[in-house]
Structure 1
């Protein structure tokens, strides 16, 4: 049977690959547009620089007006400096920082006035973006002037746009995936709840009949103390518990204070006689620690962990359950340790996902249900505490210790 988790993982990688192709194509095309617009702006800046030179090589009024018109048509922000770095002209900058028009009319002698810090910052940006355009203006005290310019607002926005676009798409996809996943999980939960309750309903009648048949056997054969019939009765009662478990799925279980040690011991006593005698069981820890537990569901948790441990042990081995408390955190730690084949560290999280199994006939639901019963129904935690290939695995369950609560109530 193919592993649905692996198939799901492949689809995720495939979708990620196509997303990267789309994103890369978008970035490459945007880069192509940016390069072409940048070349166009460079050409326009060169034209503007040439008009500056033309201004000072002709005094014909008609030509001069035309040159000023062409020069002022440049939308690219630009600054003209002499060889010393003093600003001569500017174009397309923040008018609020320039005090007066720094482009004087022909024949004007008034020196330009500007905000030094603002123009220094603008020049720094322009020098970082593009090489200056050098123009010859001999006859005006300098041999050369330098035209510095920066990207227009349109080009700047175009450079940033693909990243904004991809961010918006990523957020949209994340929200859509989250909504889709939530909807899918809700549908799956409804199916599982319906299936579980129907299973419990279907088991009810034959279980009642089996109990009646057992009582009839005891009376007919005078076998009230027969150990075989007693074990048979225990198994039928176990079926009752299983049916009760399924009937509780989908509804909020009632948690009652129980001794964690006693609950686990009762189940281990039942379970241990039904597996190979080559596997030994041991329970250690504090017998008086109490937690809010729904016994049928918590038995299911322990059953799944013990069954996984038994399946992991291929030779004679042992399973140990240790119960301890952390008073500082008001928590109870339940460690289930086996001497089985172990779990790779990369699978510590994967083992709790539905559909993951290492057995040919497994459904991969045991640990997934276990995690749900611990975290959703008992408000606790479960995780792989430690594992080493060939040596064994330790699962840890964390529950809230309610012993301190009762002590504090009695003291008050």
Structure 2
């Protein structure tokens, strides 16, 4: 099991623990809420019985006890008669009443405001929450409606608030740690790249001097082998220049995409097996903002990846086209190699991922970085089929349109 499989496994394990914690929290809270609801139902029934006792009893000595029991219940409630008329309310806004006001000269100071609509609204809420408690009287019956207390309501919503806060905290923590880790990785990348460019400088200069010395000593100015050696040394200079640019925003210049890719394909194809054929097609008039040394690196990584995917004979086709709205340039690199499983379409761009016995698995990761961070484009696996081949697509902004 490789590092990325372990990483995915840990993600699933953490997700499972999160679900267990969430489920346990909801289950336990709901358990408490059900118990409280049963308790409040019992208290509402006691209060209902006290109402009946108050209405029907003539024993004045017993009434204080009944009132004490009744008032021990703090559940908001409304009492209606068998015709639905409001008779009594408790636990609601004490500044409001459903009784019509008395004449002004008979009204008490700070008397409750007449607001029957408020009580009708509260009654509708109570009807939606619980079935009423019916108490039979000598003349008809009354219905006791009640709703959850503020404590029970808070308890019901508490786990959702709790989990939301935890989720936000974890998201912020993950974002912070991920940003910090990415920043550290970027520093390592930049340091390694610049040190590599520095280390390459001296041997490249020496090689250039040795080539000139060989030309003079053996009169080999026109020797094609020396010309190829010079090309390779120049290529090393380009590589060193690439590494030196990592970590800084490269300067982009307008170039014809077809010409830049054609120059590199011509250089690259003579340095791989003759069993692999190359084909370049597409629109030659499309122009994009490019840093040629870095963009050559993008094409080089995609072509090397295609060559490594081909076992034996095969072909690599590079096609350049424009989107329907002419805003973007599509560069498709298609090989006839072994293909990539659909589950690995994203994983192939992660640092360290490789299917080869040798290699660090950095080529496609660098490609993604150079396309997206430096050229403001996109790169992804457009299509792949096991045993038939893969197509990578690079998308760049088209700065020269036919209708401009």
Question: If the length of structure 2 is used for normalisation, what is the TM-score?
Answer: 0.90
**Equivalent in the alignment of 1:41:** 40
Q: Equivalent residue for 1:108?
A: none
Aligned-residue Cα RMSD (Å) equals: 2.3
Match of 1:347 in 2: 344
Question: Does structure 2 conserve the Cα–Cα contact (< 8 Å) formed by 1:3 and 1:356?
Answer: no
Larger relative contact order (Cα-Cα within 8 Å, sequence gap ≥ 6): 1
Corresponding residue of 1:216: 213
Instruction: Tell me what 1:54 maps to.
Output: 53
Q: Is 1:265 paired with 2:294?
A: no
Would you say 1:322 and 2:319 are equivalent positions? yes
Return the offset for 1:70: 2.7
**Partner-residue secondary structure (3-state), 1:372:** helix
Which deviates more from structure 2 when the two are superposed, residues 377-386 or residues 121-130?
121-130
After TM superposition, the structure 1 = structure 2 runs for residues 215-364 of structure 1, keeping only pairs within 5 Å, are 215-326=212-323, 328-364=325-361
Q: What residue number does 1:127 align with?
A: 127
Q: Counterparts of 1:56 and 1:25 in 2: how far apart (Å)?
A: 46
Look up the SS of the partner of 1:198 in the other structure: helix
Matched-pair contact (CA < 8 Å) for 2:309–2:338: yes
Q: In the alignment, what sits opposite 1:191?
A: 188
Give the match for residue 10 of structure 1.
Answer: 9
The whole-number CA distance in structure 2 between the counterparts of 1:320 and 1:185 is: 35
Aligned: 1:160 with 2:172: no
C-alpha deviation, 1:185, in angstroms: 0.1
Change over 3 Å in CA distance of 1:114–1:361 after alignment to 2: farther
* 1:353 and 1:368 in contact (8 A); partners too: yes
1:370 aligns with 2:367: yes
* Unpaired runs of at least 5, structure 1: 103-112
| Paired residues, number | 393
Q: Does 2:178 align with 1:181? A: yes
Question: Contact conserved, 1:5 with 1:354, CA < 8 A, in 2?
Answer: no
Question: Is contact 2:98–2:116 with CA below 8 Å preserved after alignment?
Answer: no
Counterparts of 1:72 and 1:400, CA distance in 2: 75
Q: Which residue of 2 aligns with 1:105?
A: none
Q: By how many angstroms is 1:196 displaced?
A: 0.7
- Provide the rounded CA distance (Å) in 2 between the counterparts of 1:85 and 1:362: 83
**1:56 counterpart SS class:** helix
Note the C-alpha offset of 1:118: 4.4
Counterpart CA distance in 2 for 1:114 and 1:360 is: 85
